[in-house]
Structure 1
Amino acid sequence: MTIDRRRFLAALGVGGAMAVAGGTGAAAQSLAPAAFDRRSISRLAPGPPDWAALKARLDGRLLLPQDQGYAVARLGYNELYDFQLPAAVARCTSANDVQACLEVARGHGVPIAARSGGHSYLGYSVPSNGLVMDLRPMARVQVLGDGTVRVGAGARLIEVYAALADAGRLMPAGSCPTVGVSGLALGGGVGVLARKYGLTCDRLLSAEVVTADSRVITASACSEPDLYWALRGGGGGNFGVVTEFTFSTEPAPDLTVFSLRFPAGATASVVGAWQQWVTRAQPELWSNCVVSGGTPPTCRVGGCYVGPQSELDPLLDRLVNAVGTQPSSRTVQGKSYLDTMKYMAGCANDTIAQCHPISEGGVLPRASFVAVSRVLTAPVDAERLVRLMDGRTGIDLLLDSMGGAVAQLAPDATAFPHRSALATAQVYASTTPAGQAAATAAVDAIRDGLADLGATGAYVNYIDANLPDWGTAYYGGNLPRLKAVSHRYDPDGVFAFPQSIARA
């Protein structure tokens, strides 16, 4: 549930740095570069793809390293991976362009990745020496009279929110305005309205998909039902390239946002009380609890409520009473749906145009970070959790509440398995290339400490290169069925990558 996370936490009054909060997270459509599968070695064509032939076929633009605009087009969100140099970036304007890319590049042994928002935590949507199918030009958002919305695969969340708000509708999704809807929805879609309205993937009615063999098909409950099941939480880049989504929406009510900052000495009490509080809370309440590393660690609570402040205030009083310590600051504000999404995005005072990356004329910068995740299925020992953050200056642990509507579906109803979770946990550290190794070691240690506390699952949109037993952690009991779907729709491993389902 991915902007400059420092702006997101600042919006909640919590400071610090975070990456994808609430699903917002993840999220390039292809979470990793497709690499050629050894099963297909006999079908490899000699030499590189014919880039001139592809350029002639595209309605969009093909950018090669020598072309003007390539230097910017090649970049993803995470600056740590700016050293990666794709062989080509195809600005795809339609499913036809995606078909052309696959037909020309498939079988040449080059990595192929689709990119929507470019927020892949590990930079997997900009593979070195590969082809990036940039879906950003496909960004149309059309709200229909029946309340459904058609969303192009390149649309950013702020564009979806603005179009829905104009129609008086809402859809649950992430907090980051620059995240692409594709990666978010395909990995599940944890967000600040999830407890009331479910995950983003729960709202998916159908998807237009270009398969590995360049067919354009529609996946829905009635057409390609196994693929439809897999697309709802199975992660981006595994089964095909989604070029358009159709989602269901709801009428947009007014919302109330809040932020509570507690004294440093109360951190363990806050974490313990918060876990019990969100477990028992009505679905209208969504909240996060952020523990910032330090000596001692500090703690802040934020969130939003579907309803007026008069209903929220007693719930906040209940949390404060359980903590036993008054917050040093308490902010509660009623807002419209769109203003709430902008507030959560950290661009409350910006226009919609400004809530875009700097490269697109907005004001939001890219980030340089490492991050990992776990999933809490039940309350954990608060004292031990806080000790994991002791002395970890510059690292944040973000707990995003689950439950409510998320838990109303069975773990195998969609590919997203974490239906009974209390919260997702994300560990995030801003860093530089020089500090990357140390930051990675630190967040990995906290991740493993959370596993020792019983939080063994993980969220695929916060993809983690060092995660032990990652297939089971991401997908649980759904992994065997996902592997079968992957083999059916991509038997030759066109979309294979280091953490693709085919390799789990």
Structure 2
Amino acid sequence: MKTVAQLSRRSFLAGGAAAVGVMASRPAWAEEPALSDRWEVLRRVTADGLVRPGEGGFAKAALPNNLRFRDVRPQGVVYCRTPQMVADVLSWCQDYDVPFVIRGGGHSYAGYSSGHDLVIDMREMRAIDYGETDGHVQVGAGALNGQVYSALSKTGRMITHGRCPSVGAAGYLLGGGIGFNMRRLGMGCDNVVAAQIVTADGRVRELSKESEPDLFWAIRGGAGGNFGVSTSFTIRTEPADESITVFRYVWRKETLAVATALFAAADAAPTTLGTRISLGGVTPELLKQGRQVPVTLLGQYAGPADELKAILAPVMAIAEPEFSEVKELGYWEGQNFLAEPGAPAYFRERSAFLAKAPDEAMLAEAIDKLQQWPGTGAHGDFFFFQTGGRINELAPDDTAFVHRDSRWLSVVGISWSEDDAARPAIARRAAAWQDEFYGLLNAAGGKGAFQNFPDSDLTDWRARYYGANLARLERIKAEVDPTNLFRFGQSI
């Protein structure tokens, strides 16, 4: 463990023998002449890593992925390059009483990587190093998923990962981390074997099961921004498949029967199958014109296309898809097929876990609701990520990620267009539809909520995100952040 020595501006200015005794370890700004502008102090501390309004690159730096929060503009964005720099910035924030948020990829669904004061942006800490001897990859907390994928594709290794290249690897891992590999490899956080974090006291802590096991437990599923600023992760990798089958199917006929059979087929499939099933909203006007609720299957199968065909045979017997694309590709080439660009957009998502696949009655109710979609310039949908398998082999308290008894992660999602943003009533109607739909999902057995999809409208988010692990997380939080420096709308 390395300690970053620091001395607050207040204690330095107090002078005296104690201050002289630790003068060598005072923070960088103690060496500077008195500055009246705290932002100039930060600029010098960070060696011009600070970008402020009106300066080149600020508009892009301040823009979040979820455009719902595009008007939340900070007074500054600071790009940290080293753990020591993170510690200095945290000390500056405490000395000058400046609130901050932490940003990796900027994909916080609830806008928790946007703020009115300082954004600590980690993207400069994006080094990725693969160790051939142990099969582990060390990933800087500023790396984006796409950068991790590119690096791993050169090594012939794989991990559990998502589809969106612009998601930050740190936020992904801290909240759990889902993807098409999770049923056979576990959650992303399950494969973290070590990590580094800077806590409120300025210490750079090396975490593993042997070193600071409580905090190591907490950062694997305890969500980002709660315990400190994560600076790197070491992840166990597996040999990448030489060939996988990737696929996309869309049905627009017999959708209730198709969806029911599809969930049954996927539920019975081996863990080498990873799927995302979505049902799309259709406005009443389009329904009158004959438009049906579409059912889309997307995913990968670690095996040949013929085996996938056998798995889906009961579904195909009901109705042939309107669209299908099936390819056998090398592993990382297949991920390019499955990738979702993740461009900035207006969206809101509400999630819950299901202990079993939705049955025909639940799907019939869902389809009825989808046929009442009020419409936006984008879409509304009900979609499912297939869980279970290796995820559920761990006990709920083996890591902070407590959701170890589900078969599906379900989400009611809405998005709207730039034109809609100028007409707030459109988004309000869509959100009301979404909230009513979410109530139906919970009544049909939806439990918990996924902490990587933060939902600011949950009133019981502590229990839904963390369940029985909450008390231990709160205890660890009190130990490493006793003054609650790391806080946001849903911080522990």
Shorter-chain TM-score: what band?
A: 0.7 to 0.9
Q: Distance in 2 between matches of 1:346 and 1:465?
A: 24
Aligned pair partner of 2:66 in 71, 74, 78: 78
Q: Is 2:307 the counterpart of 1:311? A: yes
Structure 2 CA distance for aligned equivalents of residues 66 and 262 of structure 1: 49
Q: What is residue 372 of structure 1 aligned with on the other side?
A: 350
Q: Quick one: which of 73, 78, 84 aligns to 1:96?
A: 84
Q: Residue 244 of structure 2: which of 251, 255, 259 is its match?
A: 255
Aligned partner of 1:490 in structure 2 is 481
* Equivalent of residue 366 in structure 2, options 374, 377, 385: 385
Bigger relative contact order, structure 1 or 2 (CA pairs below 8 A, ≥6 apart): 1
Cα distance in structure 2, aligned partners of 1:421 and 1:109? 42
Which amino acid in 2 is paired with 1:68?
G
1:342 matched to 2:336? The reply is yes
SS of residue matched to 1:411 = coil
Distance 2:304 2:94 in 1: 54
Please name the residue that 1:457 is paired with.
448
Measure the CA separation in 2 of the matches of 1:316 and 1:368: 34
- In 2, Cα distance between equivalents of 1:69 and 1:118: 16
Of 170, 176, 193, which aligns to 2:164?
Answer: 176
- How far off is 1:50 after superposition? 2.1
- Equivalent-residue separation in structure 2 for 1:110 and 1:275 (angstroms): 49
**CA displacement 1:4-34 (0-9 Å, x = unmatched):** xxxxxxxxxxxxxxxxxxxxxxxxxxxxxxx
What does the per-residue CA deviation read over 1:163-191, in whole Å, with 9 as the maximum and x for residues that have no partner? 11100000111110110101110000011
Return the match for 1:475 from 458, 466, 477. 466
**Aligned positions of 1:62-77 closer than 5 A:** 62-77=50-65
Say yes or no: does 1:331 pair with 2:313. no
Cα deviations across residues 299-350 of structure 1 (Å, max 9, x unaligned)?
Answer: 12121111222322211214434xx223223321111122122111146xxx
Residue deviations 1:123-177 (CA, integer Å, cap 9, x gap): 221211x211100111111111121001011111111011111000001111101
Query: Distance in 2 between the 1:346 and 1:327 partners?
Result: 22
- The match for 2:295 is 299
**Count of aligned pairs:** 435
Deviation, 1:267, is 2.1
Contact 2:261 2:314 in 1 (8 A): no
Gaps of 5+ in 1: 1-46, 348-363
Indicate whether 1:154 and 2:142 are aligned: yes
Name the CA distance, whole Å, in 1 between partners of 2:298 and 2:185: 19
Deviations 1:75-105 (A, max 9, x none): 1111221111112110111111111110001
Aligned: 1:406 with 2:391: yes
C-alpha distance in structure 2 between counterparts of 1:456 and 1:109, whole Å = 39
Deviation of 1:398 (Å): 1.3
Give the match's secondary structure for 2:88. helix
CA contact (8 A) 1:211 1:490 kept: yes
Partners of 1:107 and 1:426 in 2: CA distance: 42
Deviation at 1:108, TM superposition (A): 4.3
Letter of the 2:393 partner, please give it. Answer: Q
Rounded to whole Å, the distance in 2 between the matches of 1:206 and 1:177 is 23
User: Deviation of residue 417 (structure 1)?
Assistant: 1.3
Could you tell me which residue of structure 2 aligns to residue 144 of structure 1? 131
Asked whether the 8 Å contact 1:170–1:252 carries over to 2, the reply is yes
Aligned partners of 2:311, 2:48: CA distance in 1, in Å?
Answer: 52
Cα distance in structure 2, aligned partners of 1:291 and 1:140: 39
CA distance in 1, matches of 2:119, 2:372: 40
Given that 2:192 and 2:220 are in contact with CA atoms closer than 8 Å, whether structure 1 keeps it comes out as yes
Q: What is aligned with 1:228?
A: 216
422, 431, 437: which is aligned to 1:440?
431
Q: How much identity, in percent, do the aligned residues show?
A: 35
Distance 1:436 1:329, change over 3 A: closer
What is the alpha-carbon distance in structure 2 between the residues aligned to residue 241 and residue 48 of structure 1?
A: 28
1:98-247 aligned at under 5 Å gives the runs 98-106=86-94, 108-128=96-116, 130-145=117-132, 146-247=134-235
Q: Distance in 2 between matches of 1:65 and 1:424?
A: 40
Q: What is the DSSP-based 3-state SS (H/G/I as helix, E as strand, rest coil) of the residue aligned with 2:459?
A: coil
CA offsets, 1:455-489, max 9 Å, x none? Answer: 02110111111123111111111111111111111
Q: Tell me which structure has the larger Cα radius of gyration.
A: 2
Question: Does the 8 A contact of 1:48 with 1:108 survive in 2?
Answer: no
Question: Per the alignment, in what secondary structure is the counterpart of residue 78 of structure 2?
Answer: strand
> How far off its partner does 1:274 sit?
2.7
The TM-score with structure 1 as length reference comes to 0.83
Point out where structure 2 has 5 or more consecutive residues left out of the alignment.
Answer: 1-34
Q: How big is the alpha-carbon RMSD for the aligned residues of Structure 1 and Structure 2?
A: 1.8
CA distance in 2, matches of 1:292, 1:420: 27
Q: Which amino acid aligns with 2:300?
A: C
430-439 or 463-472, larger mean C-alpha shift: 430-439
Cα distance change of structure 1 residues 388 and 340 upon mapping to structure 2, 3 Å threshold: same
- Counterpart in the other structure of 1:288: 276
Query: Does the Cα contact within 8 Å between 2:252 and 2:293 map onto a contact in 1?
Result: no
